[in-house]
Structure 1
């Protein structure tokens, strides 16, 4: 290389200016500072929350389901690769047999454990799945106390309440026990999450996946297996339906929570001191699902919100079929504890061999098809919007139902369903639709054009 060429090269490589050096120094300092902060620090939580907001915005505006129909790199055998943890309390103990029967209707015969916060009753010693597989029942609070994980807290208020409940049950004072179970069940429930997971890890190790659910939660096996088959169980996965602010995002326990075996191994095998801290916090924790999440955070495992749209915390008839979830698998239902609701759901989905998608719920429960709303847009005494929240839109001083229909049509990509409240002169519309709730005096409808567009955008199962 000649002198002229070297001079030309040096002229192209300019030294950074002072402002550029300052910016680089600031970024370097922030990177080093971020790397040195604890895994559960507010700083990291803030940046993760902002990342999730951006990711959620993108998924909301660019929903995709094509990846689900590619070959599964990590297929799952539900009988051998999955463990199910069902949480129950004394006040809801009668739900357990129905939950097991409903799961059995769909041939979900994974190894299952029932964890509770009261002594075992005689009728709990022979719980089985439909195929005869035994389902062990564990008083998880007693288990945690007897092994010393709650040492120093034996006389805390919450544990004393648990002891009072146990004494009432063992003394067969059923009215007292029922009252105690209903009044303080949520407090004791907060102490069940972490020890339940540890117990199952010790007794059912080396499963690829661990699923925790409430006793009024139904899990659709075919949809669950479709999702899990695309996730590497050899990596620490912690997924569910996120709630909470940026300082402590955690999965809604009623929607069910999925954790890979690698996540449990990292927590319980590699960081027993962090687990011990979590047990010590449980007697004062408000929410057990949040305590589980913050404990995972301390070892660098965070709730992955990429798959939030698969989990559902509502019963089928109130489930909101969102525009951005329409073509995705629906994994769970919640709030199925009253009467024989759980059994009805189990019967409805027992013959579903293919994954169930959000957009199919209307057909499964006999709701009118989208085409019918094009010819007949208005239905009386019914509501297709359901629960209103910050994601729905309300327009005041709407005098006529036709005006509400017009408002929905003015938002062709954001209004899937509308409802008109004549008495209050309000028009509500939302980016979702429910199968239909009977409400006297309401007029409601679904955007048939948008519904048909969503149906054609979904890929078909192989």
Structure 2
């Protein structure tokens, strides 16, 4: 009656069943994942957690910084630059255009907004390159023209845009500005897809399409070297990847970079996916996430391995973290005034080689490491910057030297070492951070660095 024995009583049969189960799982599970839609949350999560770490390119810093790129890109000939603004923020455009006055750089420039070309209060056009007029494309209107009419008729955003357009047409600048501040953010979500399609349809021969906000600054040598790492005929989606485990997207303010291959797949090969994105933009909260969702439907995902090159902060507030000291930096964000944009351009425009995150420290005139060894307390300054969940705040610290001592011996979240500290005299509050920032003058604060650790990290970059 051996056939009645349970499997567990026959070890050789049990091992046989186990091997078959493993073989079955190894074949069927990948097949089922492969058959899932590109934008399945399960597929995206598995790709990020399992496949992603295996396939992400290792960022080789030295070759990136010094060797010739395998796919050379000329910023003038090969790149379409899309500058996204709005009626409420159009005053920033002049500063952006001043950084682009060289006609040999970003020659194909698309200025996109929620209003049309002659919307400035003084009736003049935006100009660049020796006084040449620059058209302003109302890409919100283009989105409304592409979205399903039945949805447009009942869309609150369509009504917002119509009200803004009427105020502009009637020449009521005050009313238009007030309204633009109220509706500018929801209308911004309607600009991403239409802006990229406008650039792609107008300049289909470009290798790359770079979408930036009107407060974003690009470090040109780094951008050029980055683009040269990829074959633009293939679908690439680059940027500062953020979001949760189940959906990752390139942060719009840090710059979004797409290859011709990516836009060809979205707009030419899969027009239904683009059409769905136009409809979704009537209600979607974030345009950069909407773009990622549209690209995911056609199998294009943000490249996680290169996200550390993109930056969502100003030069002075840039959090220089240990894993980014030696990494090149492509972008800065929240450069909101014409004066600030000119200042950033003045620092980076004359640099011929790619810049690294740690280079920001010296380029902005922060003290040399030796200065902190001689005098560890820097008064009326702050090298921690904006605190968040990765910083540690200790109250009741009686002196700046006490705060320094905490930084030298205390581990932060994830067992990270403290790199910078700031002591607030009023209240005896001590802030500790796993990064350094150049920072700004801040009366009443005393700040400093974990100099030995910072110097070691910077030394690995030759800085």
TM normalised by structure 2 equals: 0.89
Aligned to 1:152: 150
Q: Is 1:362 the equivalent of 2:361?
A: yes
Instruction: Indicate if the aligned counterparts of 1:236 and 1:261 stay in contact, CA closer than 8 A.
Output: yes
Alpha-carbon offset, residue 456 of structure 1? 2.5
Paired residues for 1:4-19 under 5 Å: 17-19=16-18
For 1:106 and 1:415, the matched residues in 2 are separated by 45
Alpha-carbon offset, residue 125 of structure 1? 6.8
Q: Is 1:337 the equivalent of 2:336?
A: yes
> What do the CA deviations read for 1:291-323 (whole angstroms, capped 9, x no partner)?
111000000000111111111111111111122
**Structure 1 residues 164, 238: CA separation in 2 closer, same or farther (over 3 Å shift)?**
same
Alpha-carbon offset, residue 77 of structure 1? 0.8
Identify which range, 414-423 or 262-271, moves more after superposition.
414-423
Aligned to 1:225: 224
Q: Is 1:448 the equivalent of 2:446?
A: no
SS of the counterpart of 1:307? helix
**Structure 1 residues 161, 122: CA separation in 2 closer, same or farther (over 3 Å shift)?**
closer
SS of the counterpart of 1:216? coil
Alpha-carbon offset, residue 454 of structure 1? 2.6
Q: Is 1:118 the equivalent of 2:115?
A: yes
Q: How many residues align?
A: 444
**Structure 1 residues 407, 318: CA separation in 2 closer, same or farther (over 3 Å shift)?**
same
SS of the counterpart of 1:72? coil
> What do the CA deviations read for 1:186-239 (whole angstroms, capped 9, x no partner)?
011111100110111000112111100001111111111111112222221101
Q: 1:92 aligns with which of 89, 92, 110?
A: 89
For 2:100 and 2:150, the matched residues in 1 are separated by 39
SS of the counterpart of 1:78? coil
For 1:114 and 1:51, the matched residues in 2 are separated by 39
Alpha-carbon offset, residue 441 of structure 1? 2.3
Instruction: Indicate if the aligned counterparts of 1:363 and 1:369 stay in contact, CA closer than 8 A.
Output: yes
Alignment gaps of 5+ in structure 2: 1-12
For 1:459 and 1:259, the matched residues in 2 are separated by 32
> What do the CA deviations read for 1:141-189 (whole angstroms, capped 9, x no partner)?
223334x444222321110110011111101122211111000100111
SS of the counterpart of 1:300? coil
For 1:325 and 1:422, the matched residues in 2 are separated by 31
**Structure 1 residues 54, 402: CA separation in 2 closer, same or farther (over 3 Å shift)?**
farther
For 2:459 and 2:53, the matched residues in 1 are separated by 27
For 2:364 and 2:125, the matched residues in 1 are separated by 34
Q: Is 1:67 the equivalent of 2:63?
A: yes
For 1:125 and 1:37, the matched residues in 2 are separated by 52
Alpha-carbon offset, residue 58 of structure 1? 11
Alpha-carbon offset, residue 255 of structure 1? 0.7
For 1:55 and 1:418, the matched residues in 2 are separated by 36
Identify which range, 288-297 or 114-123, moves more after superposition.
114-123
Aligned to 2:140: 141
Q: Is 1:244 the equivalent of 2:243?
A: yes
Alpha-carbon offset, residue 287 of structure 1? 0.7
Aligned to 1:180: 179
Q: 1:103 aligns with which of 93, 100, 103?
A: 100
SS of the counterpart of 2:100? helix
SS of the counterpart of 1:188? helix
Paired residues for 1:18-417 under 5 Å: 18-51=17-50, 65-68=61-64, 69-104=66-101, 108-121=105-118, 126-130=125-129, 135-146=134-145, 148-155=146-153, 156-338=155-337, 340-410=339-409, 414-417=417-420
**Structure 1 residues 126, 172: CA separation in 2 closer, same or farther (over 3 Å shift)?**
closer
Alpha-carbon offset, residue 56 of structure 1? 12
For 1:94 and 1:151, the matched residues in 2 are separated by 33
SS of the counterpart of 1:244? strand
Q: Let me know the Cα RMSD of the aligned residues.
A: 2.7
Instruction: Indicate if the aligned counterparts of 2:237 and 2:302 stay in contact, CA closer than 8 A.
Output: yes
Alpha-carbon offset, residue 400 of structure 1? 2.8
**Structure 1 residues 25, 55: CA separation in 2 closer, same or farther (over 3 Å shift)?**
closer
